[in-house]
C-alpha cells in the first residue's frame, strides 16, 4: 500500500501531498535562484532566497496543521511532519548561505567551485522531488537515493579543495575570514540536509508496506 493509492479518494490527504510537493518545488526554485545569484554575482537574486524561505515556512505550517487536523492515519503523522521539517532545514541553511553572500563577496579563486556546488545542490533538490513522487507511487527508491549519494560525494570532494584554497586567501580581518568559512560550510552542507530528507522518504516508503 502506498500514499498515492491509499489516499487517492481522500481530499484532505490529497491536499497535503500536493502541498508537500509544492514545498519541494519551492526549494528547487530557491536553489535555482541562489545558483543564478552566484553565476551573475547578483545580490538582488540573493535577497529573493529569504523571501522564498518565508513562503516555505507558511507552507510548512499549513501542512503540519492539516496533518494534525485529521489528515492521514495517526501512526504516519510524525514521519510526515518530520520529512516536512527536514525539507525546511534545507531552506534554513540555504537562506543563511544567501544572507552571508549579501555581505561577503566570493574570492575569484573559489567562485567556480562554489557555483558548481550550488548547481549540484539544485540537481539534488530536483532528484528529491522525483524521489518524493516515486514514494507516493510505491516505487523502489534505491536507484534515486544512490544518485543523491553520488551527488553528495561529489560535493564532499569539492569541499576539501575549497578548504585547501581558502587557506591561501588573505583576508583583511577575522570577520571576513569567518564569513567566508561559514559560507563554504553552509553551501557544502546543504547536500547533507537534502540527503537526510531523502533518507526519511525511505522511512515513509517502508511504513506504507
DSSP state of 141: -
Write out residues in the chain with pLDDT < 50, as ranges.
1, 7-8
Q: Identify the CA nearest to 151 among candidates 182, 113, 114, 125.
A: 125
The per-residue pLDDT for 1 is 45
The per-residue pLDDT for 5 is 52
The per-residue pLDDT for 2 is 52
The per-residue pLDDT for 148 is 96
The per-residue pLDDT for 12 is 86
Task: Return the half-sphere exposure (C-beta side, CA atoms, 13 A cut-off) of residue 166.
Answer: 19
Claim: this prediction has a pTM higher than 0.75: yes
Could you tell me the CATH number of the domain that includes residue 48?
1.20.58.220
Which domain does 92 fall in, by range? 3-207
How many distinct structural domains can be found in the chain?
A: 1
The per-residue pLDDT for 3 is 53
**DSSP codes of every residue in 109-131:** HHHHHHHHHHHHHHHHHHHHHHH
The per-residue pLDDT for 73 is 84
Residue 32, classified by CB atoms within 10 Å of its CB into exposed (0-12), middle (13-18) or buried (19+), is middle
pLDDT tens, position by position, 37-86: 999 999 999 999 999 999 999 999 999 999 999 888 888 899 999 999 99
Q: How many residues does the chain have?
A: 209
The per-residue pLDDT for 77 is 92
The per-residue pLDDT for 4 is 53
Interatomic CA distance for residues 141 and 164, integer angstroms: 35
The per-residue pLDDT for 169 is 93
Interatomic CA distance for residues 176 and 36, integer angstroms: 23
Amino acid at each position: 500500500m502506498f500514499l498515492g493509492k491509499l489516499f487517492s479518494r481522500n481530499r484532505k490527504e490529497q491536499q497535503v501531498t500536493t502541498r508537500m510537493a509544492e514545498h519541494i518545488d519551492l526549494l528547487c526554485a530557491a536553489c535555482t535562484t541562489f545558483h543564478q545569484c552566484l553565476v551573475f554575482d547578483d545580490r538582488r537574486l540573493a535577497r529573493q532566497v529569504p523571501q522564498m524561505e518565508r513562503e516555505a515556512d507558511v507552507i510548512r505550517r499549513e501542512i503540519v496543521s492539516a496533518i494534525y487536523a485529521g489528515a492521514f492515519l495517526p501512526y504516519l503523522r510524525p514521519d510526515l511532519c518530520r520529512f516536512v521539517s527536514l525539507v525546511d532545514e534545507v531552506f534554513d541553511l540555504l537562506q543563511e548561505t544567501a544572507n552571508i553572500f549579501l555581505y561577503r563577496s566570493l574570492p575569484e579563486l573559489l567562485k567556480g567551485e562554489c557555483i558548481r556546488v550550488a548547481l549540484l545542490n539544485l540537481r539534488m533538490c530536483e532528484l528529491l522531488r522525483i524521489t518524493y513522487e516515486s514514494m507516493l507511487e510505491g516505487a523502489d527508491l534505491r536507484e534515486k537515493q544512490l544518485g543523491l549519494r553520488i551527488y553528495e560525494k561529489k560535493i564532499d570532494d569539492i569541499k576539501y579543495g575549497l578548504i585547501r584554497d581558502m587557506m591561501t586567501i588573505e583576508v583583511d580581518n577575522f570577520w571576513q575570514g569567518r564569513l567566508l568559512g561559514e559560507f563554504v560550510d553552509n553551501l557544502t552542507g546543504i547536500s547533507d540536509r537534502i540527503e537526510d530528507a531523502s533518507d526519511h522518504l525511505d522511512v515513509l516508503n517502508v511504513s506504507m508496506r
